[in-house]
Structure 1
Amino acid sequence: MEPLLRVENIRKTYGKSNAAYTALENISFDIQKGEFVGIMGPSGAGKSTLLNLLATIDSPTEGKIYMNNTSIHDMKEDALADFRRENLGFIFQDYNLLDSLTVKENILLPLAIAKTPAKQINNLVTQIASVFGIGDLLGKYPYQLSGGQKQRTAAARALVTEPMMILADEPTGALDSKSATDLLVSLSNLNENNNSTILMVTHDAYAASFCRRIIFIKDGTLSTEIYRGDKTRKAFFQEILEVLATIGGEVDDVI
């Protein structure tokens, strides 16, 4: 099966000559449609740099990134902007909700930009709000929401367009444990029930234990990867902790 995402020999260098710094070196991996993959590693390992490359926010110095066999960084800027809007969904630690819009209006914003018919918009918003358990909050404004409710609204907005891939950057970083669990359960259910493809960068072993595969990065290179397989989430959590302890950094706060 052809992978949804193919990363080939990525290298990313900042600066020039003696001041050059290589953030990523010889990074290669594939992600199949329907996978839930976590990216972890010590501080400065290159996780955020990698996510920026996959999000098309930055470009690699060398190597190629393919999505559905399309080399995304060979596109012209207008085509790349269209590709990003139509195929990628983003969930960040900061909610980035518009305070002047209701929950429903925040969620439907990307659909309105894409000129989706009104009836279809209502159906899609209702469906995604149900998935994240915020159907009764659609008429409220962000200032009336808890942190967890804001993050689930932001996640619903990212997913309402049914993107080809969801990129999540520390999505539970600002949440309490219950709100974090609610979000992770929702993402896990989407992955299992809708075959949604999710790539999540996280420092939190608990959050990572909801993934099905973890790719570990150290010093800008791939260190190792582990699969959950038939393990319980608790057993996978312990395995993640063991790997983090091996590759360095504080186990309870590996960024």
Structure 2
Amino acid sequence: MEPVLHAKGLRKVYGSKGHTYTAVQDIELDIHKGEFVGIMGPSGAGKSTLLNILSTIDSPTSGTLHVNGKRIHQLKDEELSNFRRDKLGFIFQDFNLLDTLTVKENISLPLALANVASREIESRVKEVAAIFGIERILNNYPYEISGGQQQRTATARAIITKPSLIFADEPTGSLDSKSAFNLLQTLTHLNVQEQATILMVTHDAYAASFCSRVLFIKDGAIYTEIRKGEKNRKIFFQQIIDILTTLGGGQHDAI
């Protein structure tokens, strides 16, 4: 089966002439439908740069990236914008909600921009609101709800288009422990029950322990990876901690 994401020889070099810095080097990566993949590594390892390239926000200096069979960096600007809107979902640490729109309007925004019929929008909003337990706050504005509710709203917005791939950039970074656990449980539900494909960058070993596979980045390259398999989350968590310690980062290594 063709992977949802296929990256080959990805490199990202900043600077020019004798003053260059290679942030990402020779990344080879396949992500298949239904995987929940984490990316971790020490500060400055290149995690965020890699995520930006894989999520089409940035372009590599060299190498190729295919998502859903399309060679991303050959798409024209409008084609890329439409592809990003229709096929990719984004979850950010700072939520990126619009304060002038209600929760319902924030969630439905990608569909409205795609000119989806209002009846279909209503149906999908109801569906995702039920998944995240936010039916009662749909008419509230972001500043009227808690941080956990804001992140659930942002995540509902990310999945309402039924994207091929969801990118999560430190999704629990601004949440308290209870809200973080609830969000991770919901992402796991989406992954297991809906076969959602998720790629998450995180500095938190606890968050990474919810993934099915974790890639560790060092000096811009993939250092190693581990798979959860049949292990319980406690054992997988300890494996993650051990590798982060080897790499020089701890449980809460900052990006």
Give me the TM-score of the superposition, normalised by structure 2: 0.98
2:130 corresponds in structure 1 to 130
Cα distance in 1 between the residues matched to 2:199 and 2:110: 20
Output the amino acid matched with 2:194: N
- Answer whether contact 2:106 2:157 (CA < 8 A) is retained: yes
CA root-mean-square deviation: 0.9
Output the amino acid matched with 1:63: G
2:144 corresponds in structure 1 to 144
* Count of residues paired in the alignment: 255
Q: 1:251, CA displacement in angstroms?
A: 3.2
Output one character per residue of 1:169-225: Cα deviation in whole Å (capped at 9) or x when no partner: 000000000000011101100000000000000000000011000010001011000
Cα distance in 2 between the residues matched to 1:151 and 1:51: 19
Q: 1:69, CA displacement in angstroms?
A: 2.0
Output one character per residue of 1:209-255: Cα deviation in whole Å (capped at 9) or x when no partner: 11000010001011000000001111111111011111112333343
3-state SS of the aligned residue for 1:15? strand
Cα distance in 2 between the residues matched to 1:246 and 1:254: 16
- Answer whether contact 2:43 2:253 (CA < 8 A) is retained: no
Output one character per residue of 1:92-126: Cα deviation in whole Å (capped at 9) or x when no partner: 00111111111111101111111111111111001
Output the amino acid matched with 1:102: T
Output the amino acid matched with 1:203: H
> Sequence identity, in percent?
60
Cα distance in 2 between the residues matched to 1:253 and 1:220: 16
1:30 corresponds in structure 2 to 30
Give me the TM-score of the superposition, normalised by structure 1: 0.98
User: Is 2:64 the partner of 1:64?
Assistant: yes
2:195 corresponds in structure 1 to 195
3-state SS of the aligned residue for 1:109? helix
3-state SS of the aligned residue for 1:167? strand
3-state SS of the aligned residue for 1:115? coil
3-state SS of the aligned residue for 1:79? helix
Q: 1:58, CA displacement in angstroms?
A: 1.0
User: Is 2:102 the partner of 1:102?
Assistant: yes
- Answer whether contact 2:167 2:198 (CA < 8 A) is retained: yes
How do 1:145-224 residues align onto structure 2 when only pairs under 5 Å count? Answer: 145-224=145-224
Output the amino acid matched with 1:232: N
Moved more, 31-40 or 76-85: 76-85
- Answer whether contact 2:91 2:166 (CA < 8 A) is retained: yes
Q: 1:76, CA displacement in angstroms?
A: 1.2
